[in-house]
C-alpha cells in the first residue's frame, strides 16, 4: 500500500475535522499557507488529510509532555543509519474520549525493508486484534504516519527544527508545512503493512529520537537566554567635544532596544567593541538599533551614509573652492574618526568595493585613514563604526571577506516581534488599532508562504505601516492594492495569492471604511 495516498481516501465517519488541527478538515484547502515545490496537482493547490495532520499533532503533544517534565512510558528509537524506526507511544485519554482512536498505546516498527509492523494495545498493554469498524482504518494508519514522521525528523535536521518550533508554538502555517513536506516525501512509497503482537523493541534501534528533540529544544532555549543586565555602561559627556554632544540621538519611547543588544551597548561604551555589523531581513530596525545603541550609551551619531546612494570617492572629504582658494573640507565621517563619535553605513554590501577600501586600515588595530590632502588621521579612541545590511534579498551582494572579518561584532537581528510591530503601528497610526491583529496575520501568512516556497517576495513592517496610513483614506481592502499586493513585484500568481489571503480576513467589521 501507499500509506500517504491511502490517507487521503479515509475519513472518520461523521467527523471530517482534523483533531486539534486549527479548524482544518479532511481535504481542507491549505494553498494560502504553503504549496510544496514538488506538488503535482493540476490546479497547483494543496489539501490536508486527517491522518497525516493528526500524526503530527499526536507526536507534538507527546514531545511537549516530555518538555513539561511529565513521566511518559513511551519511547521513539532509531537505528544509526535511520533505516529502522521503533515507537512505543501512549495515547492520551482525550484522543479516546473524542473517538479519534480506541487504543491505549501504539507499538510500531519500520525495519530496513518496506515492512511496517503495527501493534495497537489495550489498557493492559496487550495486542488488540480489532477495534470498532468505523475506526479500523484510522487505528492502522496513525502509527504508520508516526513511523514516517519519526524517520523524517531523524534524517532531516531542518524538518526537525521546524517540528520543534511547532511543539513550542503550535500554529496553522507550520502544521500545513510539516504535513505537506511529509506527504511529498513519501507519497509514492509503498509499504507492506502487518498488524501483529509485538513485545520488545528492535535491537538495532539504539538512538533515542526523544533525546535528539530534547537537545534541539535545550540548545534553542540556551541560545535565547540573555544575561541579566540591568545597567548599561555609557560614555562620559566630557568624552566628546561640546559641539558634537547635541548629535546624541534622542528617541521616543516607541523605540525599544532589542534585548540581545543590551550587553553590546556596554561593550561599545567600554571600548571592547569598536565596529559592529547588524544584518537581517528588511524592516527589522537595523539602522534604528544602531541609533538606539548611540542613544543608550550617549554616543554622538556624526553621520549616516546610505551606501546605495551617497557613498562615493569623497566620503572622507573633498576639495572645494573658497574665495580665491581651493581648500580641503573633511566630511563628518572624518570628523568622527578624528574627534570621536559614531557613523552608520546603511546597506554596506551595496557599496562599490573601491569606496570601502579605506575601512581596511580604519578598522585595523592601529586604525587610520589617509585623506586626499595627504594628511593621516589616527582613529580616535571613541570612534565607533556601525554598518547594516540585508542578506539573501534581490539585488544584494556578498560583503568583501577581508572587510567582514574586521568587524568586532556581527549580530543577526531577529524579525520584529508582533508586540513591537503592534506598538509601532498603534503609536504612528492610532486609527488602525482595531485592525492590527488581522494585519499581522496577513503579514505572517505572506512571509510563511514566501519562505516555504523560496519566493522572491519580501514584506516588512514598513509595508504594514504604509497599508495602515493609506487605509485611513480608502479602507483596508482597497489600500492593500497599493501597499501590500505590490510586494509581488508584478507576478500575477503571487498577486492572486496575496489577495486571497487578505480577502479571508474581516477588514470591515469595526470602525472601518471598507464595505
Indicate the pairing of strand 325-330 with strand 376-378. Answer: unpaired
Structural domains in the chain (count)? 3
Same domain, 171 and 267: no
Please check whether residue 509 lies inside any domain of the structure: no
Please check whether residue 515 lies inside any domain of the structure: no
Helix axes 436-452, 418-428, angle to 10 degrees: 130
Average pLDDT over residues 264-279: 95
Please check whether residue 391 lies inside any domain of the structure: yes
Same domain, 57 and 174: yes
Average pLDDT over residues 229-251: 90
**Among residues 224, 254, 272, which one ends one of the domains?**
224
pLDDT the model gives residue 229: 60
**Alpha carbon distances (Å) from 1 to 5, 7, 46, 347:** 9, 11, 22, 54
In whole angstroms, give the CA distance from residue 66 to residue 78.
18
Same domain, 319 and 407: yes
How far out from the chain centre does Cα 462 lie?
A: 17
Containing 283, the helix (H) or strand (E) segment is: none
What number of other Cβ atoms are within 10 A of residue 145's Cβ? 26
Please check whether residue 58 lies inside any domain of the structure: yes
Same domain, 212 and 258: no
Indicate the pairing of strand 275-279 with strand 383-389. Answer: parallel
Please check whether residue 364 lies inside any domain of the structure: yes
Average pLDDT over residues 75-93: 87
Same domain, 137 and 18: yes
Residues with Cβ within 8 Å of 313's Cβ and at least 6 positions away in sequence, in order, are 354, 355
What number of other Cβ atoms are within 10 A of residue 10's Cβ? 15
Please name which of 442, 431, 447, 512 lies closest in space to residue 476, comparing C-alpha atoms. 512
Residues with Cβ within 8 Å of 267's Cβ and at least 6 positions away in sequence, in order, are 273, 409
pLDDT, tens digit (0-9, with 9 covering 90-100), for 120-177: 888 888 888 775 544 456 667 899 999 999 999 989 988 988 998 899 889 998 999 9
pLDDT, tens digit (0-9, with 9 covering 90-100), for 446-461: 888 887 777 778 888 9
Same domain, 117 and 43: yes
Containing 472, the helix (H) or strand (E) segment is: helix 461-474
Please check whether residue 232 lies inside any domain of the structure: no
Q: 3-state class of 481 per DSSP? A: helix
In whole angstroms, give the CA distance from residue 69 to residue 71.
6
All three cell numbers of 246, joined, read 547635541
CATH classification of the domain holding 245: 3.40.50.300
In whole angstroms, give the CA distance from residue 400 to residue 387.
13
Residues with Cβ within 8 Å of 113's Cβ and at least 6 positions away in sequence, in order, are none
pLDDT, tens digit (0-9, with 9 covering 90-100), for 252-262: 877 888 888 99
pLDDT the model gives residue 218: 75
Same domain, 407 and 475: no
pLDDT, tens digit (0-9, with 9 covering 90-100), for 415-424: 888 888 998 8
Please check whether residue 511 lies inside any domain of the structure: no
What number of other Cβ atoms are within 10 A of residue 77's Cβ? 22
Q: In this predicted structure, which of 283-297, 343-357, 383-397 has the lowest mean pLDDT?
A: 383-397
Helix axes 50-67, 136-155, angle to 10 degrees: 60
Find the domain containing 29 and state its range: 3-224
In whole angstroms, give the CA distance from residue 305 to residue 342.
11
The larger pLDDT score, comparing residue 95 to residue 225, is at 95
Indicate the pairing of strand 325-330 with strand 341-346. Answer: unpaired
Report the predicted TM-score, pTM, of the whole model to 2 decimal places.
Answer: 0.62
Q: 3-state class of 488 per DSSP? A: helix
Amino acid at each position: 500500500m501507499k500509506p500517504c495516498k491511502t490517507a487521503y481516501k479515509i475519513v472518520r465517519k461523521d467527523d471530517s475535522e482534523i483533531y486539534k488541527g486549527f479548524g482544518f478538515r479532511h481535504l481542507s484547502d491549505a494553498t494560502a499557507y504553503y504549496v510544496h515545490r514538488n506538488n503535482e496537482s493540476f490546479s497547483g493547490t494543496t489539501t490536508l488529510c486527517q491522518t497525516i495532520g493528526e500524526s503530527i499533532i499526536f507526536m507534538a503533544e507527546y514531545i511537549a509532555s516530555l518538555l513539561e517534565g511529565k513521566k511518559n512510558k513511551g519511547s521513539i528509537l532509531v537505528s544509526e543509519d535511520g533505516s529502522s524506526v521503533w515507537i512505543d507511544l501512549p495515547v492520551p485519554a482525550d484522543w479516546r474520549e473524542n473517538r479519534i482512536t480506541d487504543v491505549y498505546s501504539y507499538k510500531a516498527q519500520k525495519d530496513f525493508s518496506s515492512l511496517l509492523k503495527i501493534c495497537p494495545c489495550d489498557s493492559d498493554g496487550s495486542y488488540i486484534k480489532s477495534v470498532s469498524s468505523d475506526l479500523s482504518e484510522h487505528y492502522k494508519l496513525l502509527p504508520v504516519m508516526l513511523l514516517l514522521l519519526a524517520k523524517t525528523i531523524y534524517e532531516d535536521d531542518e524538518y526537525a527544527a521546524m517540528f520543534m518550533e511547532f511543539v513550542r508554538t503550535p500554529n496553522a502555517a507550520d502544521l500545513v508545512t510539516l504535513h505537506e513536506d511529509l506527504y511529498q516525501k513519501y507519497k509514492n512509497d509503498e509499504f507492506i503493512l502487518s498488524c501483529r503482537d509485538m513485545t520488545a523493541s528492535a535491537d538495532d534501534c539504539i538512538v533515542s529520537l526523544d533525546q535528539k528533540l530534547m537537545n534541539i529544544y535545550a540548545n534553542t532555549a540556551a541560545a535565547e537566554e540573555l544575561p541579566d543586565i540591568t545597567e548599561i555602561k555609557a560614555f562620559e559627556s566630557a568624552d566628546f567635544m561640546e559641539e558634537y554632544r547635541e548629535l546624541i540621538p534622542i528617541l521616543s519611547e516607541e523605540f525599544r532596544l532589542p534585548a540581545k543588544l543590551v550587553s553590546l551597548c556596554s561593550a561599545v561604551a567600554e571600548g571592547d567593541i569598536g565596529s559592529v555589523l547588524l544584518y537581517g531581513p528588511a524592516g527589522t530596525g537595523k539602522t534604528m538599533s544602531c541609533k538606539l545603541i548611540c542613544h543608550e550609551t550617549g554616543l554622538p551619531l556624526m553621520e549616516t551614509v546610505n551606501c546605495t546612494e551617497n557613498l562615493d570617492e569623497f566620503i572622507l572629504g573633498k576639495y572645494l573652492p573658497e574665495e580665491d582658494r581651493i581648500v580641503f573640507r573633511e566630511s563628518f565621517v572624518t570628523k568622527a574618526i578624528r574627534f570621536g563619535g559614531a557613523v552608520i553605513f546603511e546597506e554596506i554590501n551595496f557599496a562599490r568595493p573601491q569606496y570601502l577600501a579605506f575601512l581596511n586600515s580604519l578598522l585595523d588595530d592601529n586604525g587610520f585613514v589617509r585623506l586626499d590632502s595627504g594628511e593621516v588621521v589616527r582613529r580616535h579612541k571613541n570612534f565607533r563604526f556601525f554598518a547594516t545590511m540585508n542578506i539573501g534579498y534581490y539585488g544584494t551582494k556578498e560583503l568583501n571577506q577581508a572587510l567582514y572579518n574586521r568587524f568586532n561584532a556581527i549580530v543577526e537581528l531577529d524579525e520584529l516581534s508582533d508586540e513591537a510591530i503592534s506598538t509601532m503601528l498603534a503609536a504612528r497610526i492610532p486609527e488602525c488599532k482595531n485592525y492590527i491583529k488581522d494585519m499581522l496575520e496577513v503579514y505572517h501568512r505572506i512571509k510563511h508562504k514566501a519562505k516555504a516556497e523560496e519566493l522572491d517576495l519580501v514584506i516588512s513592517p514598513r509595508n504594514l505601516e504604509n497599508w495602515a496610513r493609506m487605509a485611513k483614506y480608502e479602507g483596508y481592502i482597497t489600500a492593500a492594492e497599493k501597499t501590500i499586493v505590490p510586494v509581488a513585484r508584478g507576478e500575477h500568481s503571487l498577486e492572486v495569492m496575496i489577495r486571497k489571503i487578505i480577502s479571508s480576513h474581516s477588514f470591515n467589521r469595526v470602525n472601518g471604511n471598507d464595505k
